[in-house]
């Protein structure tokens, strides 16, 4: 005769439920959805300091990032920092900025999310810059120039500082040196043609005058992208640094909540080339 099964104690059931919930939360955070807080104004007005967003980490396992996606990624020069920017050029594109107007493959992008800035009067140019893509063939020839698929590539003039505390680097070092196996490589010595093994993206902040983005530290490698930002679930307008300031915000809680931003979807642009003006 079979022995009757012992009923689980209430304590054991609660412990098992908590453990399962923790495991599911870890899986969700790692592979599906993760929450992030916006710490700077580089994506204003799309995202403001104090916005709390959800990022879809599941999407890019089945599709590639699209033009104008707002993405969270590991900073290309430091693994422990996460950045959020907007994709403005895809692998294989040529990007250029003329007087703050973004040109992709020679066509002007329509960017309704970028607010006009009447304060800037001096001309501003950046590029043209070729974004590398997987299976591109890159080489350095005896003429001390970079070639991609046999075509010479323009390299931005000037010095850049991708690392906040590091020495300034040349345009080649900042944008293209990462394509080569030997990261200390320069344009001084020829390098035989070989294929690029990964796609890259060019990103900008929506607040173009206050954003350290691909103009300063280069391309975003596809395997560093964590996911696509899609939802604002909380927004808190309290830029407190000291304890007394936090207390003051807490006592005026309702006043500091941006109620109009709660539940907002980040779907300003679609995934197509329709955002490029003909």
Taking only the tens of pLDDT, the chain with its 278 residues reads 555 665 667 666 556 556 655 665 555 555 568 889 999 999 998 999 999 999 999 899 889 999 999 999 999 999 889 999 999 999 999 999 998 899 999 999 999 998 767 666 667 889 899 999 999 999 999 999 999 999 999 999 889 989 888 889 999 999 999 898 877 889 999 999 999 999 999 999 999 888 999 999 999 999 999 999 999 998 888 765 666 655 666 666 666 688 889 889 886 544 444 444 44
Backbone angles phi, psi at 15, to 5 degrees: -65, -45
Res 270: pLDDT: 44
Res 271: pLDDT: 41
Res 273: pLDDT: 43
| Count of residues in the chain | 278
Res 163: pLDDT: 85
Res 10: pLDDT: 65
Is the backbone peptide bond immediately before 224 cis, with ω within 30 degrees of 0?
no
- Model confidence, pTM: 0.83
Which residue ranges form the domains of the chain, and what is each CATH number?
A: 27-251 (2.10.109.10)
Res 278: pLDDT: 40
Res 172: pLDDT: 95
Res 33: pLDDT: 82
42 is catalytic: yes
Res 274: pLDDT: 40
Set 42, 68, 214, 235: catalytic member: 42
The gap between the terminal CA atoms of the chain, to the nearest Å, is 82
Res 61: pLDDT: 87
Res 82: pLDDT: 94
74 is catalytic: no
Residue 129 in contact with residue 175, Cβ under 8 Å? Answer: yes
Strands laid side by side in the 125-130 sheet: 107-108, 101-104, 94-98, 125-130
Q: What is the DSSP string of 105-164?
A: TTEEBP-TTS---TT--S--EEEEEEPP-TT-EEEE-TTS-EEETTEE-----SEE--ST
Res 99: pLDDT: 84
| Unique residue bearing structure tokens 């299976």 | 135
Q: Is the C-alpha dihedral spanning 248, 253, 258, 262 positive or negative? A: positive
Res 259: pLDDT: 87
Set 85, 133, 226, 228: catalytic member: 85
Phi-psi sector, 23: left (phi>0), alpha (psi -120 to 50), beta: alpha
Q: How far apart are CA 276 and CA 106, in angstroms?
A: 10
For residue 251, give Cα distances in angstroms to 236, 248, 261.
13, 5, 21
Q: How far apart are CA 213 and CA 202, in angstroms?
A: 9
């Amino acid at each position: 005769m079979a022995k009757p099964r012992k009923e689980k104690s209430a304590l054991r059931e609660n412990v098992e439920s908590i453990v399962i919930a923790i495991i599911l939360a870890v899986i969700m955070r790692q592979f599906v959805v993760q929450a992030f807080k916006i710490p700077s104004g580089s994506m204003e007005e799309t995202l403001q300091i104090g916005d709390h967003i959800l990022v879809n980490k599941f999407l890019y396992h089945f599709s590639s990032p699209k033009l104008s996606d707002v993405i969270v990624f590991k900073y290309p020069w430091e693994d422990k920092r996460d950045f959020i920017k907007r994709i403005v050029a895809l692998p294989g594109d040529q990007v250029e900025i003329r007087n703050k107007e973004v040109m992709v493959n020679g066509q002007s992008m329509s960017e309704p999310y970028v607010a006009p800035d009447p304060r800037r009067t001096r001309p501003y140019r950046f590029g043209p810059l070729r974004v590398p893509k997987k299976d591109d063939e890159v080489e350095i020839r005896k003429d001390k120039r970079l070639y991609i698929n046999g075509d010479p590539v323009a390299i931005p003039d000037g010095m850049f500082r991708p690392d906040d505390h590091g020495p300034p680097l040349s345009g080649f070092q900042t944008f293209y040196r990462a394509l080569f196996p030997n990261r200390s490589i320069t344009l001084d010595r020829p390098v035989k043609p070989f294929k690029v093994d990964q796609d890259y993206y060019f990103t900008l902040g929506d607040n173009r005058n206050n954003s350290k983005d691909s103009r300063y530290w280069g391309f975003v490698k596809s395997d560093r992208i964590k996911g696509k930002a899609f939802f604002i679930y909380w927004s808190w307008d309290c830029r407190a640094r000291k304890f007394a300031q936090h207390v003051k915000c807490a006592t005026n809680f309702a006043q500091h909540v941006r109620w109009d931003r709660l539940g907002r979807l980040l779907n300003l642009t679609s995934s197509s080339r329709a955002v490029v003006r003909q």
